């Protein structure tokens, strides 16, 4: 069997037992990348073969005579290209950072590197993580491995496509309004957004600082728990990092039922605008959870309808502030033809940012401007509190919430590029939980008649990833959707 087809757990098991070497793992993935990456275009930057083989050889040499391995040692991972990697180009899929090589590692990378994984490269994304299709990338779109004429989702589309296409065993993405869960649903893989503060944001290039969160994209729920075990935990370098104890997330996987759990179904997530095929598959998933012993309870999240407007005021305002640092002075692109400072700022930002990033900067700057701050940004923050209260009230009566991940399956490349509002509505079911800061996971629950994956979302109380993983794992074990893999013709 080709090594690249294995899950993280299975590949790790073979390596720990000494059945395969790190060099064999690298060679298998290098072959796979040669076969499918020209079609999928999941990566912005790939590490060179020689350095990967040298690292793998050193790992094998270090284990001779005494085989003591770390949980992720020699595991081939991909990293979203908005997470800083020391010595490896980090572009955010933007021209303004085209040649930027960070002098330091993000905290998640420092934690991963203690395990000596094999980092294959940096994956494509919507520029600065602003998008839902990975079409807003300065390096062109990634493609859905199930049908290359369709989007892989966004903004972590490259990471999700790489996992689905077996171009890595697992990947890291980031989620601001759905950017892990939505591409996971589009590509038929697992995507987990942890509770805000569960994973350090230090070294994650900021989009919206009160929303951004790093999380795993994997082939199975077990793999997601394994990866979260390594990257989670308090970080002194991130003031928003939580001091909550970090459990062993794989312990959530011991129970394969949901007996005694109350599963909430928010009625607002099944209203007008939901594709009938998505609705059908998610309803089937809910029935499966009921068969596994769960009690289904319909609930209401009345402020759901305000979530999109609230998000696109808060997120764009924070983006406007965060992206002010890209001025051509300190790092990144600098316009060369400018004769004075103000002109250099203007030329650099005009040349370096793409249309979607410019749109969001302008929206955010307007929302924060004198005379409009109270009417827009401050009001959005007040509504965000009401959305958080919605979830808090719901979790008084239920253990988890189940919903669709997005209103439709993946849509064709180019279909919504000229209609920003339709693009924004792709995240209508993921944005509320992002505003509330709660954990949420997307897992495969079926396919459309076009053969495109559909995902179901499971949401939990803050810092209760354990129960989210338990319910997701129970569903996964009762179905076979997670075992399906796309056929990519060479």
Interior CA angle at 78 toward 72 and 80, to 5°?
125
Q: Using DSSP, state whether 112 is helix, strand or coil.
A: helix
Known active-site residue 179? yes
Q: Using DSSP, state whether 438 is helix, strand or coil.
A: coil
Q: Which of 28, 155, 200, 320 is catalytic?
A: 155
Q: With the CA atoms of 217, 14, 480 and 170 taken in that order, what torsion angle do they form, in degrees rounded to the nearest 10? A: 10
What is d(CA 48, CA 35) in angstroms, rounded to the nearest whole number? 16
Comparing CA positions, the residue from 406, 312, 415 lying closest to residue 359 is 312
Comparing CA positions, the residue from 192, 189, 185 lying closest to residue 219 is 189
CA dihedral sign of residues 101, 107, 108, 111: positive
Going by C-beta distance under 8 Å and a sequence separation of 6 or more, which residues neighbour residue 222? Answer: 7, 8, 9, 250, 253, 473
Q: Which of 28, 41, 80, 159 is catalytic?
A: 80
Q: Which of 179, 403, 426, 434 is catalytic?
A: 179
Known active-site residue 155? yes
For residues 2 and 76, the answer to whether their CB atoms sit within 8 Å is no
What is d(CA 348, CA 352) in angstroms, rounded to the nearest whole number? 6
What is d(CA 428, CA 161) in angstroms, rounded to the nearest whole number? 22
Active-site positions read 80, 155, 179
């Amino acid at each position: 069997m080709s090594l690249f087809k294995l899950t993280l757990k299975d590949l790790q098991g073979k390596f720990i037992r000494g059945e395969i070497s790190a060099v064999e793992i690298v060679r298998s993935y290098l072959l796979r990348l040669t076969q499918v990456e020209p079609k999928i275009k999941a990566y912005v930057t790939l590490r060179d073969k020689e350095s990967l083989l040298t690292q793998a050889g050193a790992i094998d040499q270090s284990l001779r005579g005494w085989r003591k391995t770390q949980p992720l040692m020699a595991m081939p991972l991909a990293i979203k290209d908005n997470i800083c990697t020391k010595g490896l180009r980090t572009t955010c899929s933007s021209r303004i950072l085209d040649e930027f090589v960070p002098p330091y590692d993000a905290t998640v990378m420092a934690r991963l590197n203690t395990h000596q994984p094999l980092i294959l490269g940096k994956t494509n994304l919507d520029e600065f993580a602003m998008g839902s299709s990975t079409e807003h990338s300065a390096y062109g779109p990634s493609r859905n491995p199930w049908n290359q004429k369709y989007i892989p989702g966004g903004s972590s589309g490259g990471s999700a496509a790489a996992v689905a296409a077996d171009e890595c065993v697992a990947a890291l993405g980031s989620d601001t309004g759905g950017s892990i869960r939505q591409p996971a649903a589009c590509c038929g893989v697992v995507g987990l957004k942890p509770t805000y503060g569960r994973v350090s944001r230090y070294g994650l290039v900021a989009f919206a600082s009160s929303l951004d969160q790093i999380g795993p994209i994997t082939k199975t729920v077990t793999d997601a728990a394994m990866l979260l075990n390594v990257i989670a935990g308090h970080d002194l370098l991130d003031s928003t990092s939580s001091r909550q104890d970090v459990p062993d997330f794989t312990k959530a996987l011991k129970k394969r039922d949901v007996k005694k759990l109350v599963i909430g179904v928010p009625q607002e997530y099944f209203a007008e605008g939901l594709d009938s095929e998505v609705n059908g598959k998610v309803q089937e998933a809910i029935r499966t959870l009921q068969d596994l012993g769960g009690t289904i309870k319909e609930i209401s999240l009345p402020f759901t309808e305000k979530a999109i407007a609230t998000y696109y005021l808060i997120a764009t305002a924070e983006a406007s502030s965060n992206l002010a640092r890209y001025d051509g002075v300190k790092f990144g692109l600098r316009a060369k033809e400018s004769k004075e400072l103000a002109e250099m700022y203007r030329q650099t930002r005009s040349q370096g940012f793409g249309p979607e990033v410019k749109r969001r900067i302008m929206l955010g700057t307007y929302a924060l401007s004198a005379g409009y701050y109270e009417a827009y940004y401050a009001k959005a923050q007040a509504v965000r509190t009401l959305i958080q209260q919605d979830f808090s009230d719901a979790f008084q009566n239920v253990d988890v919430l189940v919903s669709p991940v997005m209103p439709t399956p993946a849509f064709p490349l180019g279909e919504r590029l000229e209609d920003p509002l339709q693009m924004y509505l792709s995240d209508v079911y993921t944005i509320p939980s992002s505003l509330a800061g709660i954990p949420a996971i997307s897992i495969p629950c079926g396919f459309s008649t076009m053969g495109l994956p559909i995902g179901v979302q499971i949401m939990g109380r803050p810092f209760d990833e354990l129960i989210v993983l338990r319910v997701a794992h129970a569903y996964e074990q009762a179905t076979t959707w997670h075992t399906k893999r796309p056929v990519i013709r060479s």
